[in-house]
Chain A
């Protein structure tokens, strides 16, 4: 099957730093091999910009295999681009057609300020984790592993929740910029396992308090988060988090 190279127009959000006003800038990218990844296409554009003595577009990325959660921007209005269950680095140019115009913006949320171009600050997630996203066990203080049996269904479901990569697409997609899916996934992972139980109350209360503190919005069940989550984390995690929260009241 012969594949034809394509030409596209990009409209990219450029912003010098956190204080400056940003704007969309258009670029033509020609002769793109459809097997190229989206980020490789941006690499090619950046190489071009460097040669023209222009400033390359800054975007966060690292593993380029969909697991580290570093990359992420809004492509044509959708966090992580046109296909669900994918990170931005997984997106391939074959999903686009010759002549397309593609709009690229950073995550937009009060809790994720733009640092430069497409790079945003997601340290708020780390601060939420520091409030309760752990099991309090000292190094060396752990019992023999097989003394804590876990039903397979629970282990599997905990793994579904633990698969979160902390990319922030859920926040970017949410009309309220809520972090409920991110927090819900972590709370659920521990709610499903015996290891996390003794401190379950403080965990959910402290993490939710920090989530509010960081100016993430409230969840009003739009479900946009689940639709864009590259790890397909279900909003049942949010329901479970709420149940944990109510349980913690008593």
Chain B
């Protein structure tokens, strides 16, 4: 299979403009004849559906939540990047592009990332016009901040709730279209399968989560904006219902899955406390601007942190990275925290945490300033842990947070299946091996507002699509297959619950395909996962029945898919024997213990084609760098 990324020719800065001109446009009177299905109502899905509805297409949008406003984009705290250069500090489209491609450790496409930087400015204009209340200064203009170690202040924010405000903006645009009748909303529906007819994406099967019915919907194109797959790890910062079923089902129907091992682990999360824990809570990365990370120098030092004298503390990030100190990128901070815990110097009850200490900042700046900057985070920390971080250092530990990998798409956001488009976190295209802070929101809205409205027209105008209805055999087969699978899950009545299996799978992934990976552990994971999967299908216990709300059954379906996906994550991690971004292979490091890329061998996208359970064919899309030079990241 040849992977054609369809990147337009010409100089980098002109590609998107030229492409927009060259793409075909659907006659305005014909747009209403095309039906487009959008799955997912986060930033990418909601903005796409709103924009396509405005253009005149017939849009149907599906979400698993009771309202589109609840998609997990809502939880993003920090902000959204744009190259506005309002602060006059030297930012530009080129600099945002360069920072993003370097931050991704040179494993993303130049042309996609450049386009992302270009449309970043339009996104801000759009959101401001919608009434998104971005932070302002007294003069009435924007307040911007530096985020995630960037050297310029390009991040727009709305308190610690930027994702929420951007999503509510996209949701309001979506609801306007729903009110006007161009978009039809299907809440509490879970996409269970993709339907292909003549090799093209022509619809979906969904499960009505209230009645339990399997429903069929036909369309001329299908857009997946269903987010990432981090919940395969069980504990993550993702929402409880975030899942990979839509992209995994599409993958099993032929869509290539790229770089699944590129998983981001965020350094500042509240550590787990007990076995009952259902999720991990992220605290904004901005905390590292003033907090100092340390552990005791002595192994097994169980003293109260305030009783450990200064000279018996190891400020390991400041020690190893004198220039960036506590501000090193997410992957570096996470890995170092794991290392000191592995050495037995971790803190807290479980020994799986490091301190984030604000006492120096409180002494220097005063408690009031720290309260102003981080008051809400300190409150949240207290609510969860019952500890006062003004008095005792916070305890933090890394957690699964974002997945850079996803379904393969070309420059038009179309997968290798004609008509199937993939947007936002669900695709693989823009963040390479590591995503920078405040870039996820940018990508979701860029895909939905400013890219798909153009590229979908090019697809629809350039192809003859015979009418199909849900009476087609392909729909009937997909429904019957889905029903059989869910009936099977209910019928096993075994000895272990869905949650117990999910936890076990999560442990295998976290311990072997986590922050630091090696051949031996990856092989272990690859042999353990299929065994667990087999056991799951023999011995899982699912409660209730099919014909009403049954969250346990919903989860069973999702966990069944994680059991397959997990094997691919490990397979990809084993294949990529280099270290890059969030993927650290112990076999590939510099003498100082830093990540070492193998550019000769791995400057490509690893795109996996599903063959059979546990079997994939690997395709490679070479990454060509014409505008930036590949350098070793250094934060010393």
Contacts and interface: CB of A to CB of B under 8 A. Distances in A.
Do A and B associate with each other? yes
Interface of A: 16-17, 33, 35-37, 39-41, 43-44, 46-47, 49-51, 53-56, 58, 60-65, 67-70, 86, 90, 92, 94, 115-116, 119, 121-123, 125-126, 129-131, 133-146, 148-152, 155-156, 158-159, 162-163, 165-166, 189-190, 193, 195-196
Contacts of B168: 162
B50 interface: yes
Query: Which of B65, B86, B122, B175 is packed against the most chain A CB atoms within 10 Å?
Result: B175
B348 to A, nearest CB: 12
Contacts of B129: 135, 137, 141-143, 145, 148, 195
A133 B159 CA distance: 21
A119 B549 contact: yes
Nearest to A196: B131
Contacts of B380: 65
11 contacts: A50-B541, A64-B278, A65-B282, A68-B74, A126-B67, A130-B176, A140-B449, A142-B122, A159-B135, A159-B158, A193-B133
Contacts, number: 222
B450 A64 contact: no
B276 A139 contact: no
A37 B273 CA distance: 11
Contacts of B137: 152
B143 to A, nearest CB: 8
Contacts of B239: 62-64, 68
Contacts of A17: 548
B128 A40 contact: no
Interface stretch (B383-391, B463-471, B560-568, B612-620): B383-391
A165 B71 CA distance: 12
Interface string B148-164: 00000000001101001
Nearest to B130: A135
A158 B543 contact: no
Interface residues of B, number: 81
Contacts of B176: 130, 134, 136
Given A62-B72, A126-B175, A151-B140, A36 B131 contact: no
A234 B551 CA distance: 35
B128 A133 contact: no
Contacts of B75: 63, 65, 67-68
B187 interface: yes
Nearest to B137: A152
Nearest to B129: A142
Interface string B197-214: 000000000000010000
B54 A40 contact: no
Contact of B449 (A43, A139, A163): A139
A40 B278 contact: yes
B33 interface: no
A22 to B, nearest CB: 14
Nearest to B181: A130
A145 B552 CA distance: 46
B210 A115 contact: yes
Interface of B: 47, 50-51, 54, 65-70, 72, 74-75, 84, 86, 122, 124-142, 158-159, 161, 164-165, 168, 171-173, 175-176, 178-179, 185, 187, 210, 239-241, 273-274, 276-279, 281-282, 380, 383-386, 449-450, 453, 497, 499, 541-544, 548-552
B312 to A, nearest CB: 24
Contacts of B542: 50
Nearest to A139: B51
Question: Which secondary structure characterizes the binding site on chain A?
Answer: loop
Contacts of A54: 543
Given A69-B70, A134-B173, A158-B131, 16 more contacts: A33-B276, A35-B274, A43-B499, A65-B282, A68-B72, A70-B65, A90-B383, A116-B548, A125-B67, A126-B178, A126-B187, A136-B176, A145-B84, A145-B128, A159-B133, A162-B133
B125 A145 contact: yes
Query: Which of B66, B69, B134, B273 is packed against the most chain A CB atoms within 10 Å?
Result: B66
Contact of B240 (A61, A130, A134, A148): A61
Query: Which of A65, A70, A122, A159 is packed against the most chain B CB atoms within 10 Å?
Result: A65
Contacts of B173: 134, 137, 139
B276 A44 contact: yes
B140 A166 contact: no
Contact of B497 (A16, A41, A50, A63): A50
A125 B165 CA distance: 17
B499 A47 contact: yes
B386 A166 contact: no
A145 B86 CA distance: 10
A165 B239 CA distance: 15
Report, nearest first, the 6 A-B pairs whose CB atoms are least far apart: A149-B140, A142-B129, A130-B179, A134-B172, A155-B136, A139-B51
A35 B136 contact: no
Nearest to A49: B543
Contacts of A138: 54
A166 B69 CA distance: 8
B607 to A, nearest CB: 31
A122 B66 contact: yes
Nearest to B159: A159
B285 to A, nearest CB: 16
A67 B74 contact: yes
B450 A116 contact: no
Query: Which of A90, A156, A159 is packed against the most chain B CB atoms within 10 Å?
Result: A159
A152 B383 contact: no
